[in-house]
């Protein structure tokens, strides 16, 4: 693996001062920064090959279609999906989850049926299921968690039954960092005939994903959290389920033939890709995935685990600071609260020193309610972060707490 200083050189944005101090970017769970290859790819696409995909017979259209489909093939490999028919482009995790809730929910969920999610879900994996349950008069059930922020598996086993049609859980919690035992959850769901949806937004940058080994029915992620552009994401779905599902949106691309009497739909994956897609960002997603594959997800995870352990240990030494999320199995996210100091104030004062963290409820309001807090300060680390940055962050934090 390249050393971290060399990797940092690939990220132009990191080399700047914010408020007169060198930038420390610890908001990677919200979105990661982009390597030069991704930025260059966007430039190359728009300066050399921009054209609409799948429709043209001219050279630019062929080039852009090829590049667009090359990314799909790499995503297939990245997730170990069986075929490209199972890889659907979306705007991101949110759209992927809404697509499943709306389309699969339409055919599989009826009055009195049940959908199970967990307490640590992002709003993107709560609200689509609430909308579905409201529409279908179905029941939404929630797996509780313990004080460390781990799912209570035995409670899940009590909740699930033949009435459960869908189990949708987050692979890695964006607020707590908890890595959930999704394979075990998927196995249990299947024993009851339920299908599984995995929100992989936070897992994909650090965890090796093999959808066939997991046996996940659906898996969603966002390009921008995995060093790629915003506005592009993926829904993986098992072909046999996608084939049964009605289209999510209607329009160009997703049709075979249209008459005023009847429309027939395009083959997979295009049936779910109505309208002109986000071609430029899809093309650049390939460079992002290549970046991750080149370093290796295991190397990324190892480096981030070191940062996580280092930061956790340092933060634990600060009096009146409480870490929220102490699961045994965690990704590189540390959320915390400090007695008597509002998380927003900490975030603002860190920013005044060039340090970017996230504060607030992190789109997990029910999780905040579970811990009886309004929000946390969250530092989340990526491959380009260093222990020296953590030292500066912790010392600024100590100073802020003293001042406050
Ligand atoms: N799920 C989790 C766990 C997330 O962390 C996020 C984003 O923060 C999402 C879903 C939504 O992702 P996006 O906003 O890219 O659609």
Q: Do 276 and 346 reside in the same domain of the chain?
A: no
Q: Do 227 and 317 reside in the same domain of the chain?
A: no
Q: Do 178 and 260 reside in the same domain of the chain?
A: yes
Q: Ligand 1 mean position to 289 CA, how many Å? A: 18
Query: Which pLDDT score is estimated for 62?
Result: 96
Residue where a domain stops, chosen among 268, 293, 318 = 293
Give me the percent of the chain exceeding a pLDDT of 90: 99
Does residue 150 belong to any structural domain of this protein? yes
Q: Do 257 and 367 reside in the same domain of the chain?
A: no
Residue numbers of the domain that contains 375: 4-30+297-403
Query: Which pLDDT score is estimated for 2?
Result: 87
What's 137's domain CATH number? 3.40.640.10
At 242, the pLDDT band (50, 70, 90 cuts) reads very high
Q: Is the pLDDT of residue 347 over 90?
A: yes
Does residue 192 belong to any structural domain of this protein? yes
Q: Do 189 and 57 reside in the same domain of the chain?
A: yes
Catalytic residue among 42, 249, 363, 365: 363
Q: Do 286 and 303 reside in the same domain of the chain?
A: no
Does residue 35 belong to any structural domain of this protein? no
Per-residue pLDDT tens over the stretch 70-107: 999 999 999 999 999 999 999 999 999 999 999 999 99
Q: Ligand 1 mean position to 203 CA, how many Å? A: 11
What's 350's domain CATH number? 3.90.1150.10
At 391, the pLDDT band (50, 70, 90 cuts) reads very high
| Six token digits for residue 191 | 């024993």
Average pLDDT of every residue of the chain: 97
Tell which atom from ligand 1 comes closest to the C-alpha of 93: 16
Per-residue pLDDT tens over the stretch 115-172: 999 999 999 999 999 999 999 999 999 999 999 999 999 999 999 999 999 999 999 9
Q: Is 363 assigned a catalytic role?
A: yes
Query: Which pLDDT score is estimated for 179?
Result: 98
Give the N- to C-terminal CA distance of the chain in Å, as an integer: 42
Q: How many domains does the chain have?
A: 2
Exposure class string for 140-157: b at 16+ Cβ within 10 A, else e: bbbbebeeebbbeeebbe
List residues bridging with 197 in a β-sheet: 168, 218
At 21, the pLDDT band (50, 70, 90 cuts) reads very high
Q: Do 279 and 302 reside in the same domain of the chain?
A: no
Residue where a domain stops, chosen among 293, 319, 336 = 293
Q: Do 263 and 324 reside in the same domain of the chain?
A: no
Mean pLDDT in residue range 332-353: 97
Residue where a domain stops, chosen among 247, 277, 293 = 293
Which of 117, 171, 222, when mutated, tests ligand 1's pocket best, judged by the most ligand atoms within 8 Å of its CB?
222
Q: Do 96 and 240 reside in the same domain of the chain?
A: yes
Does residue 80 belong to any structural domain of this protein? yes
Mean pLDDT in residue range 332-345: 97
Tell which atom from ligand 1 comes closest to the C-alpha of 199: 1
Q: Do 125 and 110 reside in the same domain of the chain?
A: yes
Q: Do 84 and 216 reside in the same domain of the chain?
A: yes
Per-residue pLDDT tens over the stretch 40-58: 999 999 999 999 999 789 9
Q: Do 114 and 80 reside in the same domain of the chain?
A: yes
Q: Which value, to the nearest 10 degrees, does the dihedral of the CA atoms of residues 210, 215, 220, 223 take?
A: 10
Who lines ligand 1 at CB under 6 A? 92-94, 122, 124-125, 170, 174, 199, 201-202, 222
């Amino acid at each position: 693996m390249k050393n971290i200083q060399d990797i940092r050189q690939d990220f132009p944005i990191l080399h700047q001062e914010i408020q007169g101090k060198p930038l420390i970017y610890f908001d990677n769970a919200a979105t990661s920064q982009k390597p030069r290859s991704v930025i260059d790819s966007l430039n190359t696409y728009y300066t050399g090959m921009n054209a609409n995909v799948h429709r043209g017979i001219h050279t630019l259209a062929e080039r852009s279609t090829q590049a667009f489909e090359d990314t799909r093939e790499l995503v297939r490999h990245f997730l170990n999906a069986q075929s490209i028919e199972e890889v659907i482009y979306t705007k991101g995790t949110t759209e992927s989850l809404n697509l499943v809730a709306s389309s699969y929910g339409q055919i599989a969920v009826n009055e009195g049926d049940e959908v199970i999610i967990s307490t640590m879900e992002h709003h993107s994996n709560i609200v689509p299921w609430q909308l579905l349950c409201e529409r279908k008069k179905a029941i939404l059930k929630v797996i509780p968690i313990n004080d460390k922020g781990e799912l209570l598996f035995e409670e899940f086993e009590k909740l699930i039954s033949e009435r459960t049609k869908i189990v949708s859980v987050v692979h890695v919690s964006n607020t707590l960092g908890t890595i959930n035992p999704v394979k075990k959850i998927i196995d249990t769901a299947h024993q009851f005939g339920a299908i599984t949806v995995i929100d992989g937004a936070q897992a994909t940058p650090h965890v090796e994903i093999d959808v066939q080994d997991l046996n996940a029915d659906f898996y969603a992620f966002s390009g921008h959290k995995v060093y790629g552009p915003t506005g592009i994401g993926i829904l993986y779905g098992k072909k046999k389920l996608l084939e049964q599902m009605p289209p999510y949106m209607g329009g160009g691309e997703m049709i075979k033939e249209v008459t005023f009497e009847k429309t027939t739909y395009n083959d997979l994956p295009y049936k779910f890709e109505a309208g002109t897609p986000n071609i430029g960002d899809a093309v650049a997603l390939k460079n992002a995935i290549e970046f991750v594959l080149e370093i290796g997800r295991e190397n990324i995870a190892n480096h981030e685990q070191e940062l996580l352990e280092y930061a956790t240990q340092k933060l634990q030494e600060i009096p009146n600071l409480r870490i929220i999320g102490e699961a045994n199995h965690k990704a590189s996210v540390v959320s915390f609260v400090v007695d008597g100091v509002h998380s927003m104030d900490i975030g603002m004062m860190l920013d005044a020193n060039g340090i970017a963290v996230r504060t607030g409820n992190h789109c997990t309001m029910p999780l905040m309610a579970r811990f009886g807090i309004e929000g946390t300060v969250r530092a989340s680390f990526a491959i380009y972060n260093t222990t020296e940055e953590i030292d500066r962050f912790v010392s600024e934090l100590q100073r802020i707490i003293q001042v406050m």
